[in-house]
């Protein structure tokens, strides 16, 4: 005898997208109305935000960099940036991050963004697979790239930021030893 849970599983439908209709589109993002079938077979509507900048052959939209500054006789530090974010209506403390451009690899984009936002030059230690940022709202994805910075190297003793025309960042250091367990 089958129980009710087994019957419900047998009745379930594979979720699928029926159509995506553009509501508005601008330079960086577009708003779509997505019509889909949920696992119970019911047709539903969802509002979705999508990036307009993602390249067809790119594994993700952007990169988020976890930069670890290492210096002799100092605790390792995580380098963070503070910048004004209009959608938040204020300043945010965050990892250096940005979009993957052209034919860049995630690793190259991470090193470029790190240098632009902090002035530091580093070495890639690890690059994650693409991860979703806010899947209930958007299809945006990012690679999380861990980078070590040799703080004793001459190019990193007095780093000079290379901010874009609309971005300015303030650099913050968080001692690695201060991280919560």
**Average model confidence (pLDDT) across the chain:** 89
Q: All domains of the chain, ordered by start, with CATH? A: 4-51 (no CATH), 62-178 (3.90.79.10)
Structure confidence by residue, pLDDT tens digits, 104-136: 999 999 999 999 999 999 999 999 999 999 999
Q: Can you read off the two tokens belonging to residue 48?
A: 């979705």
Structure confidence by residue, pLDDT tens digits, 64-80: 999 999 999 988 999 99
Widest CA span of the chain, in angstroms? 74
| Residue among 13, 74, 82, 87 nearest 43 (CA) | 13
CB contact set of 12 (below 8 Å; sequence gap of 6+)? 39, 40, 41
Whole-structure pTM value: 0.84
On whether the CB atoms of residues 103 and 117 are closer than 8 A, the answer is no
């Amino acid at each position: 005898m089958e129980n009710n849970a087994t019957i419900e599983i047998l009745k379930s439908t594979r979720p699928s997208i029926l159509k995506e209709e553009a509501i508005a589109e601008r330079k960086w993002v577009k708003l779509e109305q997505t019509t889909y079938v949920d696992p119970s077979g019911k047709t539903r509507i969802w509002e979705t935000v999508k990036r307009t900048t993602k390249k067809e052959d790119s594994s993700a939209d952007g990169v988020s960099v976890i930069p670890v500054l290492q210096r002799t006789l100092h605790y390792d530090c995580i380098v963070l940036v503070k910048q004004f974010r209009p959608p938040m209506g204020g300043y945010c403390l965050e990892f250096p991050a940005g979009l993957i451009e052209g034919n860049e690899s995630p690793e190259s984009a991470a090193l470029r963004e790190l240098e632009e936002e902090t002035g530091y030059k580093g070495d890639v230690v690890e690059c994650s697979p693409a991860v979703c940022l806010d899947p209930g709202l958007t299809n945006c994805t990012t690679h999380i790239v861990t980078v070590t910075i040799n703080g004793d190297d001459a190019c990193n003793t007095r780093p000079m930021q290379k901010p874009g025309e609309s971005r300015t960042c303030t650099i913050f250091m968080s001692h690695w030893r201060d991280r919560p367990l």
